[in-house]
Amino acid sequence: MGEKRTVSLALGSGGARGLAHIGVIQVLKEEGFEIGNIAGTSMGACVGGIYCANKLETFTDWVVKLNKRETLRLMDFTMSTQGVLKGQKVLDHLKGLLGEIRIEDFDIPYTAVATDVKTKQEVWMRTGDLYTVIRASSSIPTLMMPSRLGDRILIDGGVLNPLPIEPLVPKTTDLLVAVNINANAHDRARSAVRC
């Protein structure tokens, strides 16, 4: 048997559809790939970070059992003009479920991407509390209040970079796999027919 092939994995934004990243990781592992590096935006940052923390199975078991009532219970509505959700309740629940997680403790290099509102630039987060980083990377404008990290005001990384390939370059693995949950295969097929 040969050596395992290694993969750098870019996990894009996509809201709830981003849970499909779980299946991508499971298939790569089943096919014998070793994930050597992960960069994620929004839900990609969430799934990628939880995988790097070796907690993906626990997270998956929890998320597949969520029903509408439990989902509503985790929504912390606010009257703010910056967003209708605070976004903290679900992260507090995750922390209770998965425990304290710091990115520095990961065996796999990990980058979460957010957008700095003031400078209008990407912010690559590679250290710190995972829940704080996930919150910053997934603060969808008008839906969730922006996240404050130091002197920065951060929103969803997908605003500037919905598929974070750049943090994985130069790649140190055999392959780079980018997962775009928002891709529309039907539109691509129609465009190909017209050409």
Give catalytic residues, as residue numbers: 42, 156
Strands 34-41 and 6-11, bridge-based pairing: parallel
In contact, 71 and 43? CB cutoff 8 Å: no
Amino acid at 72: L
Residue whose C-alpha is closest to residue 103's, from 136, 137, 138, 130: 130
End-to-end CA distance of the chain: 44
Taken in order 129, 130, 134, 137, the sign of the CA dihedral is positive
Residue whose C-alpha is closest to residue 139's, from 191, 84, 74, 69: 84
CA distance 131 to 112: 11
In contact, 166 and 31? CB cutoff 8 Å: no
What phi and psi, each to the nearest 5 degrees, are found at residue 48? -60, -45
